[in-house]
């Protein structure tokens, strides 16, 4: 789910020139991470920063921000478990209830693209 959303977000940013200024050059935008301002180029940044960019700049309607927070807090973290050491370190389990919750979020967000 996380990799698919990251691809769709990246593609959306590129297709809608959200990372370009009026002259077609790369532009930086400000986001806030843990209370600190950070300037990023939306297309060339991490998945977490792209999610922050989407929420803080209301790329999609604000009503989706709770879903994006779940993506940031859970789906993005689970995506990192392709790295076995991260899974072992955190000892997180994906049970049916968690999967159902994440899947519902995924279904709501996927239609935005």
Question: Tens digit of pLDDT per residue, the chain (113 long)?
Answer: 777 888 889 999 999 999 998 898 999 999 999 899 999 999 888 888 999 999 999 999 899 999 998 888 877 666 665 555 555 566 666 667 777 877 888 888 888 88
Residues 19 and 66: their CA atoms lie apart, in Å, by 24
Backbone angles phi, psi at 47, to 5 degrees: -60, -45
**DSSP classification of residue 45:** S
Q: How many domains in the chain?
A: 1
For residue 90, give its domain range. 2-110
**DSSP classification of residue 21:** -
Residues 14 and 64: their CA atoms lie apart, in Å, by 21
DSSP-derived 3-state class of residue 32: strand
Alpha helices in 1-113 (DSSP H): 2-15, 47-56, 65-70, 76-79, 84-90, 96-110
- Cα end-to-end distance, the chain, whole Å: 14
- What predicted TM-score, i.e. pTM, was given to this entire model? 0.72
């Amino acid at each position: 789910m996380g990799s698919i959303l990251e691809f769709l977000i990246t593609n959306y940013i590129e297709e809608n020139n959200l990372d370009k200024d009026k002259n077609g050059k790369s532009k930086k935008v400000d986001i806030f991470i843990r209370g600190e301002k950070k300037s990023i180029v939306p297309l060339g940044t991490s998945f977490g920063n792209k999610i922050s960019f989407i929420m803080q700049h209301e790329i999609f309607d604000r009503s989706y921000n709770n879903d994006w927070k779940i993506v940031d807090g859970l789906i993005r973290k689970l995506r990192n478990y392709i790295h076995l050491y991260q899974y072992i370190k955190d000892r997180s389990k994906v049970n049916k209830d968690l999967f159902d919750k994440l899947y519902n979020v995924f279904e709501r967000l996927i239609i935005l693209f």
